[in-house]
Amino acid sequence: MRRTTNERITGGSPGPHQETKERRGALVPVLAFAGITVAVMQTLLVPVIKDLPALLHTAQSNATWVMTATLLAGAVSTPIMGRLGDLHGKRRMLLASLTVMVIGSLVCAFTDDLVVMIVGRALQGFAMGAIPLGIGIMRDELPPEKLGSSMALMSSSIGVGGGLGMPGAALVAQHADWHALFLGSAGVGVVALVLTFFLVPEPPLRAPGTFDHAGAAGLSLGLVCLLLPVTKGSEWGWTAPLTLGLIAGALLILVVWGLYELRVAAPLVDLRTTARREVLLTNLVSIMVGISFYAVSLVVPQLLQLPTSTGYGLGQSMVVAGLCMAPLGLTMMFTAPVYARIAARRGPKVSLMIGLLVIAVGYGAGTLLMEAAWQTVVVSAVLGAGIGLAYSSLPALIIGAVDASETGAANGLNTLMRSIGTSASSAVIGMVLANTSVHRGGVAVPSMEGFRTSFVIATGAVLVGLVLAAFLPPQRPAPRLVLVADSESEALLAEAEALVAIEAVLHGGASAPSAGGPPAVAGSGDLRGRVLDGAGGPVARATVTLVDRQGRQAGRAVADDEGRYALAAAPGTGHVLVATAAGYAPRARPAVCAVDGRPVVADLVLTAAPGQHRAGVPRGAGAVRTAPEAPVPERRV
């Protein structure tokens, strides 16, 4: 849509923008490939997990750190890399994440030492921040008609990578040395790195402020203290002093961290934004979806590989078990366009609730369909469709509730919530399977009772998520725009033509070449002023874009905490300033740049917008009229 609008205004000459258009066409598959690549790291060692103690010459309790390290590193990195991406460039941080993943894979590929392996696996997990970064790049770069399905695919890459990576990893582990798993992941990581470097542009939008080092350290320490007892509690004992001490310490650290974040000028996580109903409820639902996703990944492979002598095991090989899980990832991938259609008509809240209902049906059926391999395939496919719809809806809900400059950090926190749900699922279901195990030939194996109880727990988590989703704010109807053509028609037309550019502004302004370069934050320039609310107070972090008379972006800035902005702009008339901020209606006003070499001051006043745009919701429609019954032809809106 943005490209079409600009071509209408400038006469449709695509020459200078052809390269950008081609790069944008490759954006979605490249980012989705990068997301799937880093998601594979979580399930890379699942096929050989039972053999890790022998392979690493250590005890079972020590070998589990190889899996735990990846989980902890991923949980810590997602909000931190999201914030760094908002501040310093999402593409730059995405490249850094992929580079660290490749280094971690190479470290693991050439060692049998436990400590070195744990370090390498932690580096692999660090790359999980790539997924919220990819979602942020999509918001900044893609036109709205492609944004919904693209974000859905990127968000689902967590499950797609796990579902498709498991059979591939099983095939390699069964027919080659286990170190080949890491060599393969390094090779795939290099491909993702090269494709990202050449085909993914760097969005120009930057958040104001600096990186909150103290906040990052506090959040990291709190998450480690929280997730360690969650993942190791069944091994240490849930009432052991170490487990209870770490949980108490985590709660204390996170409370102190939260109080600090509320006081600092540029927090790592804006808790005031996070406390909004739509953001808070979406993050809580994400935990429930994380629990539901990991339950099937823990139960079905074990059921398939248990010997038939147990009376309920299906006796399948490692590779066949992986292939039976593949529909989980495939249906998640194919639900992205389905989500886009539902969200376009009904909004992401409805698609989220439909997804949760499908998951509940899948787990309900799964408690009964456990007697043949084909039944597990059906259950995996149904669960994949539901999880895909739910995962696809989450970033749209988050993006619709936060400012564009906070996309990376907000989606990083949302991805973290899913990881917490995954960790909780692993701990609870692991405890259930251990406490309900039976002895066969002197060996404790999971029981059918444990498998069914695990599915019931997952169903309960989904139903809790469904109740939480019901309290999400309803989608607001698209506003109907009416412009009056009277004696002030020229002024109104100037403002209307500026509003043509708002679509680009709200999504990062990538559709037109920027003469202003990277955005400043209350920096220097000949055009300056403040962005204020209706009461005269400052609107912090508002995006101010200068649009020339051809409808092209001529400069951009992000206001500081006092609402101040400054733009360097070429002299001339006919320019228009457009200001946007989360929770406010966009505002446009004519501007004259650099009169007689003196700075020009232009303030913009924003008003609250109950009908403001939300991602995935159709834009306003309407007509230009002189009176309620008389439309005016050939006016551009």
Domain with residue 466: its CATH number is 1.20.1250.20
Domain assignment of residue 527, yes or no: yes
Model pLDDT, residue 408 = 67
Last residue of a domain, one of 446, 470, 494: 470
In this structure, the answer to whether residues 199 and 223 fall within a common structural domain is no
pLDDT at residue 623, as a whole number: 45
pLDDT score at 245: 94
Q: Evaluate whether 168 touches 320 at the Cβ level (below 8 Å).
A: no
CB 614 within 8 A of CB 478: no
Q: Of the candidates 469, 464, 476, 463, which has an alpha carbon nearest to the alpha carbon of residue 350?
A: 469
Residue 265, judged by CB atoms within 10 A of its CB (0-12, 13-18, 19+), counts as exposed
Report helix, strand or coil for 439: strand
The domain that contains 606 carries what CATH number? 2.60.40.1120
- Enclosing H/E stretch for 311: none
Q: Are 139 and 151 in contact (CB under 8 A)?
A: yes
3-state secondary structure at position 445: strand
Residue 153 forms part of a structural domain: yes
Position 477 in a domain: no
Summarised one tens digit per residue, pLDDT across range 284-323 is 999 998 888 878 877 888 888 888 888 888 888 877 887 8
Taking CA atoms, 393 is separated from 327, 348, 427, 452, 540, in Å, by: 20, 5, 26, 28, 28
Predicted local distance difference test score (pLDDT) of residue 237: 84
pLDDT digits (tens, 9 = 90+) for 421-476: 877 887 788 788 878 888 777 777 888 888 899 999 999 999 999 999 999 887 54
Dihedrals phi, psi of 587, to nearest 5 degrees = -130, 135
Q: What is the predicted pLDDT for the residue at 620?
A: 45
Domain-embedded: residue 637? no
Per-residue model confidence (pLDDT) at position 1: 37
Q: Are 306 and 361 in contact (CB under 8 A)?
A: no
129 and 164 both lie in a single domain: yes
Residues of the chain with pLDDT under 50: 1-20, 476-494, 496-498, 500-520, 522-524, 595-596, 611-621, 623-637
Q: What is the pLDDT of residue 569?
A: 64
Q: Name the residue among 484, 521, 523 with its Cα closest to residue 631.
A: 484
Whether 537 and 548 have beta carbons less than 8 Å apart is answered as no
Residue 475 lies in a domain: no
Ramachandran category for residue 189: left, alpha or beta (phi over 0 → left; psi -120 to 50 → alpha):
alpha
**What CA–CA distances, in Å, run from 188 to 41, 100, 178?**
11, 13, 16
3-state secondary structure of 368: coil
CA distance 539 to 293: 40
Among 386, 351, 346, CA closest to 366: 386
629 token code pair: 């019954």
The pLDDT value recorded for residue 328 is 83
Grouping H, G, I as helix, E, B as strand and the rest as coil, residue 596 is: coil
Do 142 and 197 lie in a common domain? Answer: yes
In a domain, 445, yes or no: yes
3-state secondary structure of 135: helix
Same domain assignment for residues 416 and 538:
no
Q: Which amino acid is at 294?
A: Y
How many Å is the maximal CA-CA distance in the chain?
93
Q: Are residues 320 and 175 in the same domain?
A: yes
Instruction: Indicate whether 129 and 222 sit together in one domain.
Output: no
Of 562, 566, 555, which Cα lies nearest the Cα of 524? 566
- Is 636 among the domain residues? no
Whether residues 278 and 219 share a domain: the answer is: no
Say if residue 251 is in the same domain as residue 285: no
Cβ–Cβ < 8 Å for 529, 579: no
Q: Are residues 365 and 491 in the same domain?
A: no
Residue of 3, 28, 5, 2 lying closest to 16 (CA atoms): 3
Structure token pair of residue 141: 């770069």
Give the sign of the dihedral formed by CA 433, CA 435, CA 438, CA 439. Answer: positive
Instruction: Give the list of residues 6+ apart from residue 206 with CB closer than 8 angstroms, or none.
Output: 86, 87, 88, 89, 405, 518, 519, 521, 558
Residue 329's domain spans which residues? 2-212+264-470
Whether residue 313 sits in one domain with residue 187: yes
Q: Could you tell me if residue 476 is inside a domain? A: no
Q: Determine how many CB atoms are found less than 10 A away from the CB of residue 345.
A: 12
Distance (Å, whole) CA 230 – CA 595: 63
pLDDT in the model for residue 9: 32
| pLDDT at res. 23 | 57
Quote the CA–CA distance of 453 and 298 in Å, as a whole number: 13
- Split into its structural domains, the chain has a count of 3
Asked if 530 and 562 count as a contact pair (C-beta separation under 8 A), the reply is yes
Last residue of a domain, one of 445, 470, 495: 470
Of 470, 499, 529, which closes a domain? 470
Note whether 422 and 447 are same-domain residues.
yes
DSSP string of 247-286?
A: HHHHHHHHHHHHHHHHHSSS-SS-HHHHTSHHHHHHHHHH
The pTM for the full model equals: 0.65
294 and 222 within one domain: no
